[in-house]
Amino acid sequence: MAITITEAAASRVATFLENRGKGIGLRLGVRTSGCSGMAYVLEFVDELDEGDQVFEQQGVKVIIDPKSLVYLDGTELDFAKEGLNEGFQFNNPNVSSECGCGESFNV
């Protein structure tokens, strides 16, 4: 099982952590939400929880809990700017469908 992070996303996470002044990495998870069933969750991590999986690339740690890893295995975390919009993008090979607004997905 693996999670990857692009150079653009790693740079953005590193900047956020530096500006925040603390934290060991970024937690990527899923929660039940939206019209398609699941939504991505991103939050800073100051301490690891029991069972957390840590994926480190380009000097950035992405932390995932075991329940979320089942849905996120193989996901690439990216960061993109498109015109005035910018944000993290999730290239998840497990997604079978997404809602029309792009806020939630189904596996």
> Token pair of 15, please?
């900047």
What is the Rg, in whole angstroms, of the alpha carbon atoms belonging to the chain?
A: 14
Is residue 78 within 8 A of residue 72, CB to CB? The reply is no
**CA distance to 34, 84, 89, per residue, from 75 (Å):** 20, 25, 10
Using the predicted structure, report yes or no on whether residue 105 has a pLDDT greater than 90.
no
pLDDT band of residue 102 (cuts 50, 70, 90) is low
| pLDDT over threshold 80, residue 97 | no
CATH code, 94: 2.60.300.12
73: left (phi over 0), alpha (psi -120 to 50) or beta: beta
What residue numbers bound the domain in which 79 lies? 4-106
Alpha-carbon dihedral 48, 86, 71, 61, rounded to 10 degrees: -30
Confidence of residue 84 (pLDDT cuts 50, 70, 90): confident
Looking at the structure of the chain, the number of domains it has is 1
Token pair 């653009």 in the structure block, residue: 8
What is the Cα–Cα distance from 83 to 103, expressed in whole angstroms?
A: 20
